[in-house]
């Protein structure tokens, strides 16, 4: 199949460039905000208006800071000397390089700080936000596809694509695999389960387990980072992080079930 060659830049006004990838982040947060507002638990606990707006400010900051720092520490660890000598590059998100796992940790930390300051249950906030996260994940993977980045390994399947800068051989459009599994599939599962009387906080642990499992298997079709390659000759860095996510989801879920604290 032919790669569609969509221009990553939507509009350019002098030094200002609006890119599809950045727009996807904005749309993801807007969609999440609107989906949280309509949830039954949000209305019952008076989470809306100014409270919700402040929460999303924290989440945006947490995501950007966490995603960038995690990328530098775990995906550029061999270049730490360069970053320490050029500290401005650590926050240079405009150069690319964002880690989902770091963004998740950043959002969790920001949400926890917000919950402490507002004296709101952090687990309740986690439930509300988590079920909307797949929308942003879907949009982000579409942005990766438009950029022609994070493509898959070489394949002879009929839907393989020749990506710009990836050589002449067709590759898995792994961004689209991830978009579907991390987006619509994960969203439908979480949305249908969210009001089933689970212990408070269960949705984030379900998310960790399901996302980690989906991403782990898709990574077998995704090209490993060229500067890191396969760890132990088998797994990517992303897969090891996903195994940690699955483990956290299982342990957290079991602990919640033992406590039996219903939402």
Confidence of residue 227 (pLDDT cuts 50, 70, 90): low
Q: Give yes or no for a contact between 139 and 187, defined as CB atoms under 8 angstroms apart.
A: no
Q: pLDDT tens, 185-214? A: 999 999 999 998 888 889 999 999 999 999
Confidence of residue 48 (pLDDT cuts 50, 70, 90): confident
**What values do phi and psi take at 14, rounded to 5?**
65, -130
Counting residues of the chain whose pLDDT is more than 70, the rounded percentage is 95
Average predicted confidence (pLDDT) for the chain: 89
Query: How much is the pLDDT for 204?
Result: 92
Query: How much is the pLDDT for 73?
Result: 82
CA distance 92 to 124: 33
Provide the β-strand partners of residue 262: 199
Query: How much is the pLDDT for 12?
Result: 84
Q: pLDDT tens, 67-116? A: 888 888 877 767 777 777 777 777 666 556 678 888 889 999 999 999 99
Residue 261 reports pLDDT greater than 80: no
Positive/negative CA dihedral, 17, 142, 136, 130: negative
User: What pTM, to 2 d.p., does this model score?
Assistant: 0.86
CA distance 89 to 85: 9
Query: How much is the pLDDT for 96?
Result: 60
CA distance 263 to 260: 9
Identify which of 78, 34, 79 has the alpha carbon closest to the alpha carbon of residue 53: 34
Residue 237 reports pLDDT greater than 60: yes
Contacts 24+ apart (CB under 8 A), 223-226: 223/150, 223/151, 223/152, 223/153, 223/166, 223/171, 223/174, 225/75
Query: How much is the pLDDT for 60?
Result: 92
Query: How much is the pLDDT for 260?
Result: 62
Query: How much is the pLDDT for 262?
Result: 46
CA distance 195 to 140: 27
Q: Is 10 helix (H, G, I), strand (E, B) or coil?
A: strand
Q: Is 62 helix (H, G, I), strand (E, B) or coil?
A: helix
Q: pLDDT tens, 7-33? A: 988 988 877 778 888 899 899 999 999
Angle made by CA atoms 135, 61, 183, in degrees to the nearest 5: 10
Positive/negative CA dihedral, 131, 239, 172, 71: positive
Query: How much is the pLDDT for 263?
Result: 45
Bigger pLDDT: 104 vs 161: 161
Q: pLDDT tens, 115-134? A: 999 999 999 999 999 999 99
Residue 194: burial class (beta carbons within 10 Å; 0-12, 13-18, 19+): buried
């Amino acid at each position: 199949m032919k790669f569609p060659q969509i221009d990553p830049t939507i509009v350019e006004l002098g030094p200002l460039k609006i890119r599809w990838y950045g727009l996807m982040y904005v749309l993801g947060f807007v969609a999440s905000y609107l989906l949280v507002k309509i949830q039954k638990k949000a209305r019952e606990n008076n989470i809306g208006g100014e409270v919700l707006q402040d929460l999303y400010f924290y989440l945006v900051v947490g995501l950007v800071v966490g995603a960038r720092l995690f990328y530098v520490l775990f995906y550029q660890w061999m270049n730490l000397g360069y970053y320490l000598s050029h500290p401005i590059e650590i926050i240079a998100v405009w150069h690319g390089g964002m880690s989902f796992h770091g963004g998740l940790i950043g959002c969790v930390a920001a949400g926890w700080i917000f919950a402490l300051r507002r004296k709101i249950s952090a687990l309740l906030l986690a439930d509300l936000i988590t079920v909307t996260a797949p929308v942003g994940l879907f949009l982000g993977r579409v942005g990766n596809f438009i950029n022609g980045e994070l493509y898959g390994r070489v394949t002879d399947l009929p839907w393989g694509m020749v990506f710009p800068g990836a050589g002449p051989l067709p590759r898995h459009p792994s961004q689209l695999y991830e978009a579907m599994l991390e987006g619509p599939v994960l969203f439908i599962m979480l949305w249908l389960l969210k009001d089933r009387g689970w212990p408070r906080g269960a949705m984030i642990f379900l998310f960790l387990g399901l996302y980690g499992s989906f991403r782990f298997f898709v990574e077998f079709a995704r090209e490993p980072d060229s500067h890191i390659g396969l760890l132990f000759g088998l797994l990517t860095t992303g897969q090891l992080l996903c195994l940690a996510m699955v483990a956290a989801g299982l342990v957290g879920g079991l602990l919640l079930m033992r406590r039996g604290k219903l939402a």
